[in-house]
Amino acid sequence: GQSLEQPSEVTAVEGAIVQINCTYQTSGFYGLSWYQQHDGGAPTFLSYNALDGLEETGRFSSFLSRSDSYGYLLLQELQMKDSASYFCAVRALKAAGNKLTFGGGTRVLVKP
Amino acid sequence: GAVVSQHPSRVICKSGTSVKIECRSLDFQATTMFWYRQFPKQSLMLMATSNEGSKATYEQGVEKDKFLINHASLTLSTLTVTSAHPEDSSFYICSARDTNGSSNQPQHFGDGTRLSIL
């Protein structure tokens, strides 16, 4: 099976940097995805890491270390609109159905 | 970019009613679609994998007779919550990935259906 751990909540001020860590235990790992979800909305895709290293997409970056079963999402130059829940999700191998298993989510609250 | 359309966005109905939710991939084909359920302030829990032209694969603990899934075409999957009860009230979300895309293509989510059973 799969299990993922991430902090439940993070509070920061506008302009700050936030790092959301995600550790996972899984069989058949293919990659680690990150999704953002605002209250009442659907998850939107942010980033995906299949290989070790850092992926940068604008203010958001994601990192993966397969040997450590660890990844993180880095939110830079925080804006009020970044207040949302952020989920890491493990993508299983095709043989396991390409399924996504989500972590519990990290609620990020950005204060002025 | 890839768009997944989910309909209806909100349903309020009486206990015992069956509710059908549609999930469409608008600009790509998806041999596989996924159905999730999310309770307030909780994570997304995978209910089942919808397979085009064959039976859905249900996760442990999900009643297949309660949550009927049909995936009749490469762009449409439906979830029917049969004889819904108040405990079935939740946020139901579908997702799909472009079958013809690269292996790094992400899953894209529909806007979700908020189901409230009175």
Higher per-residue pLDDT: B35 or B51: B35
Q: Which among A31, A42, A87 has the least Cβ separation from residue B111?
A: A42
pLDDT digits (tens, 9 = 90+) for A22-67: 999 988 888 999 999 999 899 999 999 999 999 998 999 999 999 9
pLDDT tens for A59-91 read: 999 999 999 999 999 999 999 999 999 999 998
- Interchain CB contact of A53 with B (< 8 Å): no
Q: How confident is the model at residue A104 (pLDDT cuts 50, 70, 90)?
A: very high
Flag whether pLDDT at A94 surpasses 70.
Answer: no
What is the SS3 assignment for A80?
helix
Beta carbons of A104 and B112 less than 8 Å apart: no
Facing B34 at nearest CB: one of A31, A33, A99:
A99
pLDDT at residue number A26: 84
Mean pLDDT of chain A: 93
Distance of alpha carbon B112 from alpha carbon B94, whole angstroms = 7
* Adjacent-strand bridge partners of A19: A74
B63: left (phi over 0), alpha (psi -120 to 50) or beta: beta
What's residue A95's pLDDT? 64
Question: How far off is chain B from A14, nearest CA to CA, in Å?
Answer: 24
Backbone phi and psi for residue A80, each to the nearest 5 degrees, phi listed first: -55, -35
Q: Does the pLDDT value for residue A96 go beyond 90?
A: no
Does B2 score more than 70 pLDDT?
Answer: no
Q: What is the pLDDT of residue A99?
A: 85
What average pLDDT score do residues A11-16 get?
97
B49-108 tens-digit pLDDT: 998 888 999 999 999 999 999 998 999 999 999 999 999 999 999 999 887 777 677 889
Q: Which tokens hold the place of B103?
A: 């292996």
- CB nearest to A102's CB, from B6, B44, B103: B44
Residues of B in contact with A45 (CB under 8 A): 106-109
CB atoms B32 and A44 under 8 Å: no
C-alpha closest to that of A31 among A7, A42, A47, A8:
A47
